[in-house]
Amino acid sequence: MKIAIASGKGGTGKTTVAVNLALALEDVQLFDCDVEEPNCNLFLGFELEPVEEVTCLFPEINTDKCTLCGNCADFCRYNALAALPKKILLFPSLCHGCGGCSFVCPAGAVEEKSRSIGIIEKASSDASLKFFQGVLNIGEAMATLVIRSLLRHIDESKPAIIDSPPGTACPVLAVLGFADYCVLVTESTPFGFHDFLLALEAAKALKVPVGVVLNRDGLGDSRVEDFCRAEGIPILLRIPNDRMIARLYSEGIPFVKEMPEWKEKFEDMFETIKFETIKALAFKSTGVQ
């Protein structure tokens, strides 16, 4: 079972939930897909080793063959190529490596080269928690490619917890499209509610069942909760605005390690997720709720 931990915006406690859930369970895998800023390991402190270099093809224009017809620049929907009067300019960070420019070049002037855009790393220890993270090289835009490479390392025989990037853009959709269940972490504030709705819409569009974790519960108002009740979305867990939890977070310590009562709460949450996933699968195949 693959559980995505997502949020409509950064700073809601998504990584905290992913790390604490992973540490509360036995024999699970944790994947940090926030490849622009992976930070699960700040709390885990594993020694990491590289397991894969993620590469992307990009075009190189052979100026001897190029007739400056402009076909390639016209074709590139990512604006990675610009046709100037005397040369074709390439903006490598915008290139998605689709290979289309080489296909439409009538002069055979586009050669495809490979470049590194990121790396996949894993925890070198043999602990019961298997940890992997993807790291996108600075200045690169192809987060989705790194995420897809990272998710190929999932062992399907074990539960996988996937810390997704924040927001609702392509990298998040790549994770949600892969997940069996989505845990949306949110705070019950006006801004939190707005971003929560956007993330919920994305999960719904991809037909992924959703449950909610209310972080810093007690701050703000009841709008997320009221909405969830009206829509039949389960509240899986409430993490209070607790001084001890905040202190442990600021020290980089997962609170499940120091507050053992939370282990059981995360285990219960996992059991609810299993139940909700099975229910959603049954509904998908039979149409009966």
**Which range in 34-42, 73-81, 149-157, 189-197 contacts ligand SF4 by CB under 6 A?**
73-81
Question: Smallest Cα–Cα separation from 34: which of 16, 21, 52?
Answer: 16
DSSP 170: H
Contacting ligand SF4 within 96-125 (CB under 6 A): 96-101, 105, 107, 109-110
Return the structure tokens found at 79.
Answer: 């604006």
The contact pattern for ligand SF4, residues 2-31, with x = CB under 6 A and - = no contact, is ------------------------------
Q: Pick from 7, 12, 15, 71 the residue near ligand SF4 by CB under 6 A.
A: 71
What's the one-letter identity of residue 227?
F
Report the residue number, 74 or 264, with the smaller CB distance to ligand SF4.
74
Q: Is 144 in the site for ligand SF4 (CB under 6 A)?
A: no
Q: Any bridge partners for residue 50, and if so which?
A: 121
* Total number of residues that touch ligand SF4 (CB under 6 A): 26
Quote the CA–CA distance of 60 and 115 in Å, as a whole number: 11
DSSP result, 73-122? HHH-TT--EEE-SS-EEE-GGG-----HHHHH-TTS-EEEEEEEEEEEEE
Asked if 8 contacts 195 with a C-beta cutoff of 8 angstroms, the reply is: yes
Q: Say whether residue 61 binds ligand SF4 (CB under 6 A).
A: yes
Under the criterion CB under 6 A, does residue 170 sit at the interface with ligand SF4? Answer: no
Interface with ligand SF4 (CB under 6 A): 59, 61, 66-72, 75-76, 78, 80-81, 88, 95-101, 105, 107, 109-110
